[in-house]
Structure 1
């Protein structure tokens, strides 16, 4: 059995430290950026509202922490023109990664044709930036729909498949994670590198360990790196740092 300290050490550099609260402001984002560079190691990225990308980029300019932001968020229902504007503005402000909500309602009700069309436009607009596609697996619910959304995302050029926005009652689940990780594995068999991001409700080391074990089982030992696996989390960081002997961390952020 893998020890909690081993899991914590693996998880720390995989965290997208996230704050997507309605009350967020520049000071909150600055504090989040301070938390991202921990006494043990930096996290993979901070994920914040588009409004704060430039602030985060400035605060993290001397670090290796990437800046991610969300578009078409949280409902996945914005017109394509608006989504493309969001992406262009975020990239102009320095975003390294785009977390885009797939039109999952279209997958549920209309077979995903519109979702696929928008996905293609989004991939082109990202212009080389890392594209994490949020499938909102808790709303898709049925395994067949989750698998269909994953296919649309992979075929559309996703760099990561992400479970959830953190804004619906059901976030990441092991069952949904298995489906997405199998899609990542199958993509690798076709010469595509597609990663996985577990997001929504992962707050302790034991929970993180369950997802890491799934990734090891499905995609193979050694597959998990910050380039292939992320946790969308904020509370998880405190638990990881406590396990590694660095206290509970400073400040509070929420979401995910």
Structure 2
């Protein structure tokens, strides 16, 4: 990745952004605001990521021709729902107009040694949304160990994940460059077209630049595009807009 100016990084990050509102107090007014912010004067985000109960509303606002995709979450954030419940959540979300499904794996069962639970969950949800983009959330901040993060990545990829995603944003430790490195190497080694989504805690253009550079180092030039890389963030857009509008100096990375 050639040396880009902060404005260039900001514009690129905007095109890769899943603009997110998964706050517990989210309401219909917040969804209206989110949809407007996703289509701003500096360009549009790749997607919005919202609770399932707001998908139909968002589809009504965005319509069928918007370039902004609608992502929603299932088995979220606990990862401990029954497979049949998660499949029902997924089917309803697709009926309501979701383009993308962000699925939390049963990470607690996985940490206890139950790999089959991960495979079963991803396989079932994949079958329930064959045409949607399926992003599988590993909750790496809870898995912690490099070996577990690597194995969870491999299981999700094997069962048809279109993306692997670090985090829900609902636990103490969310996206880290260390976890990103492990997950990107798993994608590279799989030789499949699978994307990567760091989520949670990425709030500055400088933060985004670190992840973009890491991804290109591992995956090579020209890999970075909305079909293979997304940021999951709620606050990142504020810094992107500030940099693009020249209203403030780019903030330094918050670090990980």
TM-score with structure 2 length normalisation? Answer: 0.93
Contact 1:106-1:113 within 8 A present in 2 as well: no
Give, in angstroms, the shift of residue 247 of structure 1: 5.2
Give, in angstroms, the shift of residue 111 of structure 1: 3.6
Residue 129 of structure 2 is aligned to residue 151 of structure 1: no
The number of aligned residues is 245
- The residue number in structure 2 matching 1:126 is 129
1:155-170 equivalent positions in 2, closer than 5 A: 155-170=158-173
Mean CA deviation greater in 106-115 or 77-86: 106-115
Give, in angstroms, the shift of residue 243 of structure 1: 0.7
Give, in angstroms, the shift of residue 246 of structure 1: 6.6
1:165-244 equivalent positions in 2, closer than 5 A: 165-187=168-190, 189=191, 192-244=192-244
Contact 1:4-1:243 within 8 A present in 2 as well: yes
- The residue number in structure 2 matching 1:60 is 62
Contact 1:40-1:246 within 8 A present in 2 as well: no
- In structure 1, runs of 5+ residues without a counterpart are 249-256
Distance of 2:35 and 2:12 partners within structure 1? 20
Give, in angstroms, the shift of residue 46 of structure 1: 0.4
Larger RCO, structure (CA 8 Å, separation 6 or more): 1
> Which residue, out of 48, 51, 58, partners 1:49?
51
Moved over 4 A (4+): none
Distance of 1:183 and 1:247 partners within structure 2? 39
Distance of 2:156 and 2:246 partners within structure 1? 38
- The residue number in structure 1 matching 2:11 is 9
Secondary structure of the corresponding residue to residue 244 of structure 1: helix
Distance of 1:169 and 1:38 partners within structure 2? 31
Distance of 1:246 and 1:37 partners within structure 2? 19
Q: CA RMSD in A?
A: 1.2
Mean CA deviation greater in 167-176 or 102-111: 102-111
Distance of 2:28 and 2:20 partners within structure 1? 14
Secondary structure of the corresponding residue to residue 17 of structure 1: strand
- The residue number in structure 2 matching 1:73 is 76
Distance of 1:246 and 1:78 partners within structure 2? 45
Deviation per CA, 1:172-219: give whole Å up to 9, x if none: 0000001111122122x2xx2100001010000110000000011000
Give, in angstroms, the shift of residue 107 of structure 1: 1.6
Distance of 1:105 and 1:156 partners within structure 2? 19
TM-score with structure 1 length normalisation? Answer: 0.93
